[in-house]
Chains A and B, each alone.
Chain A
Amino acid sequence: MRKAKDLLLGTLLGACLLATLAIVGGLVFAIVHRGWPAISVSFFTEQIRLVGADGGIFWNLIGTGILLVTALLASAPCAVSLALLERVWLRSPQLRRLLRLALYTINGLPSIVFGIFGFIVFVQWCGWGKSWLAGGLVLAMSMLPTVTIVLLERIAAIPTRYVEAAAALGLNRTQIVWAVLMRQSWGGLISGSLLGLARAAGETAPIMFTATIFAGATFPRAVVESPVLTLSYHIFILAQDSFAPAVGTKLWGAALVLLGLVFSFTLAALPARLRQHEESNV
């Protein structure tokens, strides 16, 4: 009886594993299979033509890059401040729990909510119109919890003996923060940012009202009314509106590029995360 149960459980778990692998594999296969014919040098270097049926995704890549760099630069200092606030400056456990709860709540917000929020605050209230800065800041908000929590866990994993040794030498709190805590956890900031960027790169809802248009934008030269083209919005519009067969290949090509971008961010974050696991085992 017990053997039968074991066997049943084993089969079930194996099936779950297979299903997971099949989903990832199938997804990658479908996208590579259909998108690969579109990939060429000119696909990366040419701008969009014939409403997406011809040309490439040059300005979409640039635009996505601008949004991600902005999001990275805006989220990193906030994440460092929040993580240090939680780990060092907040003494009351209730306040710390509240901060963590707020981060998890932000993390769980639907991305369209960020989009609407950014639309009201930046586009309308600040009067920026559609702007790369608005999009970058909205993406920064959406990735902030990921970056903060990864950094925070990294700081929490630093053995207290380092803090004690530094304190015993007479270092004050600020010196300990920079010489011990941040020095030993900046890898967490990097891997957290990469994971956050991997998510932000594919976000469409937060930027469709705030930062991006389908065609006709190049490099932004101001803040107000300076939208960019992006990969995710490109895919969204092509998938929704176009039935021309030539568009199909370009669409899958763009999806493949986006997938590659996201995978490379996730993979780049991997070594730092594995190292952290090793250290916390000591």
Chain B
Amino acid sequence: MSEVPPILQIQKLEVRTHARLLLRNITLSIFEGEIFGLIGPSGAGKSTLLRSLNRLNDLLPGLYVKGDVLLRGQSVYARDTDVNSIRTRIGMLFQQPVIFPTTIRENVLFGAKRVLALGKVEQTVRVESALRESSLWDEVKDRLQQPASALSVGQQQRLCLARALAVQPEVLLMDEPTSALDPRSTAAIEELLLRLKTRHTIVIVTHNITQARRVTNSLAFVAIQDGAGEILEHGATKALLSAPKNPILADYLTHSS
């Protein structure tokens, strides 16, 4: 693995507010084509870490970031980095599907149309390819002009995935993407993840150990240590889940499965 440079390199990342430290000394390498999972108790800072990777935390006033993230060697936090182009290259899926009050087609194109300046024909092609990639095409191909709000929550989450895929990101961040879904929709998304990883790198926050075991290749365990979130252990999923070295992780695993 060491010959291939990682697609994402988190280097001594530290996130804090005025009053307290949220994440301390996070260093991780994420490789192309893998599904990387972040697990750990609630409030440990998994989402904050995820949102630091595409600088979405910039939108929250009062959060300060030290250290850096490298995307294919390019600094995400350097002064001259164009944040918007970084966010185009690192897509994101949220816990709850965020559907814009417009048609299914316009939702898919919401980013692609504006960020990539696609022509009319390209737009149509992109809508189909993105919806096929997110396994939604067959369900919605006859009603692309209908409001997206009429879809079920599971479909809405796949629509959000299609919208993220439509701008062709190199990395996809997912913040507990199945926590609002029923078991069937969850299974559909998990199946989708396994298919997507052939072409995308995915970083996923999950509370569900079974899900982590099913879909991820590598895992990092984030937990509070001395008042701030830290990575207590990371490595290949199988090894980490079957033989955890860190006692806090071992304890967490026995209590959450």
Contact = CB atoms under 8 A, between A and B. Distances in A.
Partners in one complex: yes
Interface of A: 160-172, 175, 179-180, 184
Nearest to B167: A169
Interface string B98-134: 1011000000001100110000000000000000000
Contacts of A169: 87-88, 91, 110-111, 114-115, 163-164, 167
Nearest to B173: A168
A161 B91 contact: no
A161 B84 CA distance: 17
A171 B86 CA distance: 11
B92 interface: yes
B115 A167 contact: no
B84 A168 contact: no
B101 A164 contact: no
The dominant DSSP class at the B interface is helix
Contact of A162 (B54, B87, B98): B98
Contacts of B98: 161-162, 164-165
Given A166-B110, A170-B84, 12 more contacts: A161-B96, A162-B100, A164-B59, A164-B94, A165-B160, A167-B59, A168-B94, A168-B164, A169-B115, A169-B163, A170-B89, A172-B84
B158 to A, nearest CB: 15
B256 interface: no
Given A163-B59, A179-B110, A168 B91 contact: yes
A224 B115 CA distance: 48
B110 A168 contact: no
Contacts of B84: 170-172
Contacts of A162: 98, 100
B56 interface: yes
A171 B114 contact: yes
Interface string B42-56: 000000000000101
A209 B100 CA distance: 49
Nearest to A161: B98
Contact of A179 (B54, B59, B88, B114): B114
Contacts of A166: 110-111
Nearest to A91: B61
26 contacts: A161-B94, A161-B96, A162-B98, A162-B100, A164-B94, A164-B98, A165-B92, A165-B98, A165-B100, A166-B111, A168-B87, A168-B91, A168-B164, A169-B87, A169-B91, A169-B111, A169-B163, A169-B167, A170-B86, A170-B167, A171-B84, A171-B111, A171-B115, A172-B84, A179-B110, A180-B100
